A and B are shown apart, each in its own frame.
Chain A
Amino acid sequence: MRQSFSEWTKSGAPWVWLNAGAVAICLIMVVGLLSLIAVRGLGHFWPADIVQTTYVDNGHSTRLIGERVQTQDVPVEQLSDSGIKVTEGVETMQRTLMKVGNRDHGGTDFIWVLDAFMQDSSKPDMLFAAERREWGNFYGYLRSIKEDGKEVAAHQGYDRSAEYEALWNQFQQRIERALNIHDQIKDIEKGQIGSINYELERLRLKERSLQLKEVTDSARYQAIDDRRAELNAEYESLQGTLLDLYTAFNRDSITAEISSGKIVEFKVASVVRAFLPNEMGIGGKIGHYFAKIWEFLSDDPREANTEGGIFPAIYGTVLMVIIMSVLVTPFGVVAAVYLREYAKQGFITRVIRIAVNNLAGVPSIVYGVFGLGFFVYFLGGHVDDLFFPEAKPAPTFGTPGLMWASITLALLTVPVVIVATEEGLTRIPRAIREGSLALGATKFETLIKIVIPMASPAIMTGVILAIARAAGEVAPLMLVGVVKLAPSLPLDGNYPFLHLDQKFMHLGFHIYDVGFQSPNVEAARPLVYATALLLVAVIAALNLSAIQIRNHLREKYKALEM
């Protein structure tokens, strides 16, 4: 059936199609955004091949070694404006962002190069990549291994050979050894010495507290001094062990040839992982991929958060959210029960209900400001005056920290829980309550035994939604407790185990900080995508479970109403 265009327009069909288009655009945007994050985030862990190429620019030819990161077309004018001699007769030229690493030798680890100037690109099997504790990645050819400055194995040339394999294996073994020692060192430094320092600080505070209380009992001071001497002795012995470990740790070094042909030397101790990406088979790459993902999830960050893992941020986020939900659930439920079951329904409850509802729409930064002013400075200041005078002038609770962050977020999310719980309570048929009352149960018994259990899925939904919101909120946390790098986890083995006064790391803030405050944004970007993916996954999972519970709840009441 052929319609004329004007007739078709008159029927309003184009508008309907445009509306359909709007939905489609929304969907495409959501899916596109999620896949962008997923692809960039997951792609980062895949070991990229290392390319070796001869770069000829103005007659100079240099060897370039690095990973291809990104390519784009640039207009020729832009290039010729910046003084680059360009090929005649083309409008755009392709350029590639290469990650050349070796920041300690070249200055920058990312450079833009023009594809047209690259000649003889190859992927030699012998090129190795090393992730280091500082200075970023290293790319080059392994040349020799030294032990205490004396060469123990060496190899020349660019081809594979048995000799080379042996050298490489030895390198791997030595990395393994260094990593073991590193773990021991970390255990001593962070674990044992950390505990000693922590206890010493507590002793200092104890002593100060005694002085403040003007206790003159010298026995108590003596006890503190004795314990301090004990700890110091322990510390000395650990220092000795550490010294030995460090000597062993720094025993080995390697030399390697970098792209300029220079032979450079660095310590095996600085290497976290070394691999030959060009030689790896698909299996090896998959193994490497998962190892990297595991590292990402379980390790501490390195190099100003641009490398390594995000474990402290995951830990901080989860802990903060747990404390928040412990706070928000009872308060939210009690408030909702009061509003729905106990308060006299009327104008006032209606106003309160609207107010509570609207508080969910108040910008989160306002809660942050409130948290900083009221909780941190006002309440925290008073708590310090009352309970921690010995630590003054250093604030204990009078500074942003885990507890205040959790409470602020609890306040931010309590309207969500109240609204969800109320909804659950209204859905419970009146007849059920009346039945229970008619059987002689008191109002409280009805509430505890009948109403709350029936409303529990709704409460759960509310709590999960609150958690999802809290996990993604960053703006208020920036004011009340997150930091870019927390020296220790807020829950550890030192008494009193849960350190509510400590600052913590957070996934959302990590994204902001690494993406925007980092000195090396280019290097950090893939990690930010990965972090974002993790955060999205956590929040989507939480929300989906909330939706599941809600659906389940609706089904349950459908049966009840019949």
Chain B
Amino acid sequence: MSTNNTASTELDFNTPAAKRHRNIRALKDKVASTGIAFGGISVIVAILLIFFYLLYEVAPLFQSASIERWTENDEQVAPYTAPGAGKTLYLTMEEQAEIGFRVTDAGEMVFFNTRNGDVILQKMAEIPEGATVTSFALASEYSGIFALGFSNGQVQVFKHKYRSTYPNGVRVITPFLEYPLGTEPFQLSEEAVEVLALNGSEEEWTLIGGQHSKLTATDISLSENLITEEIEADTSAYALPDMNIPANKLLLMPDRRWMMISGEGSKLGIVDMKAAGGPKVSQLIEATSGNITSFELLLGGNSLLISDDKGRTSQWFLVRNADNEWVMTQVRSFENGNSPIDFISIEHRRKGFVTVSETGNLSFYNTTAERNSLSAAVAKGNVEMIALSPRSNALLVEQDGKLMLWAIHNEHPEISWSALWEKVWYEGYEEPEFTWQSSASTNDFEPKYSLMPLAFGTLKAAFYAMLLGTPLAICGAIYTAYFMVPAMRRKVKPFIELMEALPTVILGFLAGLWLAPFMEVNLAGIFITLLFLPAAIIGFAYAWSCAPKAVRYLIPDGWDAALLVPVIILATMFSFWVAPGIEEMLFGTEMRYWVSQELGIPYDQRNALVVGIAMGFAVIPTIFSITEDAIFAVPKHLSYGSLALGATPWQTLVRVVMPTASPGIFSAVMIGMGRAVGETMIVLMATGNTPIMDVNIFEGMRTLAANIAVEMPESEVGSTHFRILFLAAFVLFLFTFMVNTLAELVRQRLRKKYGSL
């Protein structure tokens, strides 16, 4: 042992170099631990970030609006005297809310700085000698075209416009007035124009006005003089018959067919200007329970808003009834306590409006969402006028000759629970419906953000996929795990699992370009195959069991599947071969025509059946693999015991193995469904992507996932549409995550159970 001692004295572990080395190693270890912990946690956080980021993008949809006094350079903009003399007839702002515009009954038209009231441009209407301004009409906020009626029966039309220039990189907005219908006033009536309405587009315009119960109309068509390039108006005037309602206010829809008259109390008259035999009142309605206080057209000019002195505002539009007549119908109403409503101001870009009550309370509404996104007090007592800026981010309030500027934050008023998930009565529709239509070419379009058709389409696609995929996958897994010979199982399982890696874009492309046209021609063949195949398999099996032993013993047990391959191929070919004959016999024509003509079921080439087959194909490997594992993992002694007691293999499987493995099968189906719900490419390519709600197997659908893929690239960042697509993604995320978690928990419990067996 002495040699050992000498060795240890020679080997000194505590030399400074060894110590340093150990320290470095310890340091390295520590650094690595921290690094790995940091790295690991940050990867996991990054993954979880998805959840929070989606939430972060979705959240603004459900934030309520807010309003505050406008601040400029950290200073609150103080109220200032309204520029121009007289009572306000019209108040509005331009795009950037930098310039305000006010028209008064003195005929003054003033452009002013909204921050301090400085006059930028002041114009007087050329009022004829001795006349006064007696009425005002606005075509639409969007067009900026308005008309003034004079006491001598003349009417003049104006348009306020703005031009932006960038001298030295600074934006300068210059306002100016235009005469879109020519500079000459129109002689609308003999006497004073007490009520006035104006509407039209481009070259065709109509003015209606006159006295309370004596109205005349003037149709104006414009043409440009080729030589002088001046606009020439061609007018044709005609008197309207007595409508029996003294008019307080007139409104004309942009199609110039329908005129609305608000009369005494709550009377509302609808005049069909193009009725056979001349204009006539088509409807006379008691519109509200109180007195009408404000009467406006919503953006687009198709909806009428009526508010009364009982705090109620209602939306009306024309709905075609069973007799194919247009009837002005009250669609929805908004209550605002009991204080009378003084004014309605219409949003310039959205289907929304603002009411202000006698007590100075302001309420923001959106008609589609039926939502009151904001209520706030902007003044004490009566206000004279309110005006929204085109972007709905600023509000001017006039009270006692003073103007006050407010800032509004109201990004997504068109979203509410009911707009997303309930039936909504959209403008121009005959009844409330679920509709997804996110964009159109016109500016005054009412976006229809009902997620129902998409959610329905998602579930429909998943349902048909599961209908086809689940039985095949589970039955296949049962056989592979329990009956198949190990040699074959080792080949079959990886092969089917390989299918899982098959890109879905390929399945989608085959479904869309090969299967869909094929099915259109061979629809009967496919159905006959579905029916005939099980029969053929059982028939063959029985025949096989009756075959002489010498033949049967050629193929050992567990190779049945291989034996069936030619049978299935032949049976399928046979089905397609007899299909035309059977089709002819049963339907007298091709099944596709029979379905669409005799049954009246619409047939799309790219339909739910195609999706079902293609997506069923995609979920088979997922379900197969997990089910197979679950069944194979059932302890063998359980089935041996059962078999030893005399049960047949099938009885053992159904009574012993399946109950034990059922949680595993359940989780397999759940995971398969998660995959079917989120699948994008197959649905995108194999359906027509029309957002309809119909369980019909011969029609297509649009799913949440496909909708995101189609619309996301075109969506404007930060817009309501953009956030709704995020919401769709979030819904998908939550749904699949929860389904998968459930499946995973079930699977873990199952594993524990096997452990105890």
Q: Which residues of A contact B (CB under 8 A)?
A: 1-3, 5, 8, 11-30, 33, 36-37, 72, 75, 77, 91-92, 331-332, 334-339, 341-343, 352, 354-359, 361-370, 372-374, 377, 411, 414-415, 418, 442-445, 447, 465, 468-469, 471-475, 478-479, 508-509, 511-512, 515-516, 521, 525, 528, 532, 535-536, 539-540, 542-544, 547
Contact = CB atoms under 8 A, between A and B. Distances in A.
A32 B414 CA distance: 50
B715 to A, nearest CB: 10
B509 A369 contact: no
Interface residues of B, number: 110
A332 B47 contact: no
A153 B705 CA distance: 61
Given A442-B26, A447-B32, A472-B502, A373 B57 contact: yes
B537 A508 contact: no
B648 A11 contact: yes
Given A22-B472, A358-B737, A444 B713 contact: no
A387 B755 CA distance: 57
Nearest to A30: B499
A358 B740 contact: yes
B479 A361 contact: no
Q: Which of A26, A443, A471, A515 has the most CB of B within 10 A?
A: A26
Given A352-B44, A365-B709, A444-B32, A15 B503 contact: no
Contact of A512 (B40, B498, B508, B564): B508
A539 B740 contact: no
A553 to B, nearest CB: 15
Interface string B704-723: 01001100110001000000
B475 A22 contact: yes
Q: Which of B37, B560, B681 has the most CB of A within 10 A?
A: B681
A23 B559 CA distance: 11
Contacts of A358: 736-737, 740-741, 744
B509 A528 contact: yes
B37 A338 contact: yes
Contacts of B562: 24
Q: Which of B36, B46, B473, B474 has the most CB of A within 10 A?
A: B36
Given A14-B541, A511-B505, A516-B685, A23 B480 contact: yes
Main secondary structure, interface of B, reads helix
A418 B40 CA distance: 10
B377 interface: no
Contacts of B681: 474-475, 508, 512
Contacts of A342: 33, 36-37, 40
11 contacts: A17-B541, A25-B533, A37-B510, A338-B36, A342-B37, A442-B28, A472-B505, A479-B709, A521-B513, A525-B513, A547-B494
Given A16-B483, A338-B39, A362-B733, A473 B709 contact: no
Interface string B160-176: 00000000000000000
Contact of B741 (A33, A354, A374): A354
Contacts of B705: 363, 365, 475
B84 to A, nearest CB: 39
A468 B471 CA distance: 28
Contacts of A515: 509, 512-513, 685
B274 interface: no
Interface stretch (B224-232, B309-317, B444-452, B542-550): B542-550
B479 A22 contact: yes
B721 to A, nearest CB: 13
Q: Which of A355, A373, A415 has the most CB of B within 10 A?
A: A373
B679 A363 contact: yes
A37 B503 CA distance: 13
B257 to A, nearest CB: 41
B568 interface: yes
Contact of A366 (B37, B50, B498): B50
Given A337-B36, A342-B37, A372-B712, A474 B740 contact: no
B602 to A, nearest CB: 19
Given A26-B476, A331-B39, A414-B43, A363 B53 contact: no
A474 B541 CA distance: 43
B376 interface: no
Contacts of A12: 648-651, 653-654
A334 B33 CA distance: 11
A365 B732 contact: yes
B282 to A, nearest CB: 45
Q: Give the 3 A-B residue pairs with the shortest CB-CB distance, closest first.
A: A363-B678, A338-B40, A12-B650
Nearest to A338: B40
B725 interface: yes
Contacts of A547: 494
Contacts of B617: 29, 33
B546 to A, nearest CB: 6
A532 B709 contact: no
Given A16-B483, A27-B561, A357 B744 contact: yes
Contact of B479 (A16, A511, A540, A543): A16
B503 A508 contact: yes
B232 to A, nearest CB: 43
Nearest to B538: A14
B280 to A, nearest CB: 48
Contacts of A23: 475-476, 479-480, 484, 492, 561
Interface stretch (B104-112, B134-142, B669-677): B669-677
B726 A369 contact: yes
B121 interface: no
B483 A20 contact: yes
A2 B552 CA distance: 12
Contact of B39 (A334, A361, A363): A334
B50 A536 contact: no
Given A12-B648, A17-B538, A473-B503, A362 B475 contact: no
Contact of A26 (B36, B472, B679, B708): B472
Interface in B501-526: 501-506, 508-510, 512-514, 521
Contacts of B385: none
A318 B41 CA distance: 30
B720 to A, nearest CB: 15
A415 B47 contact: yes
A485 B478 CA distance: 47
Nearest to B617: A29
B732 A366 contact: yes
Given A5-B542, A366-B733, A442 B25 contact: yes
Contact of A474 (B480, B498, B499, B505): B505
Contacts of A411: 46-47, 50
A41 B514 CA distance: 13
B495 interface: yes
A370 B678 contact: no
Contacts of A540: 498, 501
B534 interface: yes
A479 B483 CA distance: 46
A543 B502 CA distance: 10
Interface string B651-690: 1011000000000000000010011011111001100000
A341 B29 CA distance: 13
A361 B623 CA distance: 13
A8 B542 contact: yes
A479 B504 CA distance: 17
Contacts of A367: 50
A24 B480 CA distance: 10
Nearest to A350: B748
B506 A535 contact: yes
A27 B488 CA distance: 12
Contact of B509 (A14, A336, A511): A511
B589 A77 contact: yes
Given A26-B472, A536-B502, A75 B590 contact: yes
B426 interface: no
Nearest to B480: A23
Contacts of A542: 501
A407 to B, nearest CB: 10
